[in-house]
Amino acid sequence: MIKSGRSRKLSVEEEMLIMAVIIMTGTSQGIGAAMAHVLLERGHRLVGISRRRNDALIQAFPTELVCMEADLADTAGLGPLMERIFQQMGTDEERVCLVNNAAVLAPLRNAEQCDSAEIARHMQINLIAPMILTSLFAKHTSGLRGEKRVLNISSGSARYLLPGMSCYCTAKAGLDTFTACVGLEQQNKEYPLQIASVWPGMNETQMQEEARRQDGGFQNAEMFIEAKKNGRLHSPDETARKLADLLLGESFPHGTIVESLY
């Protein structure tokens, strides 16, 4: 593991010399929407996967953005989805990236208070879908000689555990472990992909609003309320820029968990 996500940032001019095609989940809101905007603004092509279309992004970037509406809990549909994406992309891209960003927070209750359907849906979206998408990405790009990168958006909750967040903490810990394992698997490949996981910190997003609600029975809501009051939340726009720099920077932290962007 490494403690910082700081690497030499490429200038916009340098970055534009190697344009990327980026597949990203969860682009309809929060950090995902902000990061998608940053990447598109820099001239990269983006395939956004989310349950809802991001009409603002579509209007701003009608030629660079392709939106795919999908429910990541429907893991059986991920294979056909990636097949369609790679058929449209072609196989001669110089730089291809996957960003597993989509996540849910609920259920925010102790384990015995969660029903089986809630637990299953949470793990399908937060852990199983990123694993499957990474596997499919690796298969589809196995013969590509260009640069291939996977960035998994994880959380400090993988290590810093809270009551009422057993599903979320477990999924993020699993995502970090999966990242490290795939990193090891790629070491001896002829055309390896690079993979890393990152903790983006606490950001003012819809997920934070959900954690602050006191009507849902989440026993640690007050901690999140205090974080907002004390100005401890990062701006999603600033975090998005740092994530974009990490994804496309000159040195990518392959096989590691980046614990701090700031």
Q: Which helix (H) or strand (E) holds 41?
A: helix 30-41
Which of 160, 168, 191, 262 is flagged as catalytic?
168
What crossing angle do the helices spanning 236-248 and 30-41 adopt, rounded to 10°?
Answer: 60
Contact (CB, 8 A) for 126 and 172: yes
- CA–CA distance from 146 to each of 130, 191, 192, 193, 204 (Å)? 22, 8, 9, 9, 36
CATH number of the CATH domain containing 143 = 3.40.50.720
Q: Indicate whether 3 belongs to any domain.
A: no
Q: Which helix (H) or strand (E) holds 84?
A: helix 78-89
Q: Indicate whether 5 belongs to any domain.
A: no
pLDDT of residue 93: 75
Q: Indicate whether 66 belongs to any domain.
A: yes
pLDDT of residue 172: 99
Identity of residue 148: K
Identity of residue 41: E
> Is 160 an active-site residue?
no
Q: Indicate whether 204 belongs to any domain.
A: yes
* SS3 label, residue 45: strand
Domain count, the chain: 1
Q: Indicate whether 2 belongs to any domain.
A: no
* SS3 label, residue 149: strand
Q: Say which DSSP state 255 is in.
A: T
Range of the domain at 217: 12-258
Q: Indicate whether 206 belongs to any domain.
A: yes
pLDDT of residue 2: 44
Q: What are phi and psi of 163, to 5 degrees?
A: -60, 140
What crossing angle do the helices spanning 166-185 and 129-140 adopt, rounded to 10°?
Answer: 20
Contact (CB, 8 A) for 100 and 130: yes
The two structure tokens encoding residue 60 = 């701003």
pLDDT of residue 48: 98
Q: Indicate whether 47 belongs to any domain.
A: yes
Residue 84, number of CB atoms within 10 A of its CB: 13
Q: Give the Cα separation of 236 and 234 in Å (integer).
A: 6
| Residue 226, CA atoms < 13 Å, CB-side half-sphere | 4
One-letter-per-residue 3-state SS of 86-144: HHHHCCCCCEEEEEECCCCCCCCCCHHHCCHHHHHHHHHHHHHHHHHHHHHHHHHCCCC
Contacts of residue 78, defined as CB under 8 A and 6 or more positions apart, other chains included, come to 70, 72, 129, 132, 133, 136
pLDDT of residue 218: 85
Q: Indicate whether 7 belongs to any domain.
A: no
* SS3 label, residue 198: strand
**What's the average pLDDT block by block, 10 residues per block, for the chain (262 residues)?**
48 60 97 98 97 94 96 98 90 87 95 97 99 98 94 98 96 99 96 98 88 78 88 94 97 97 92
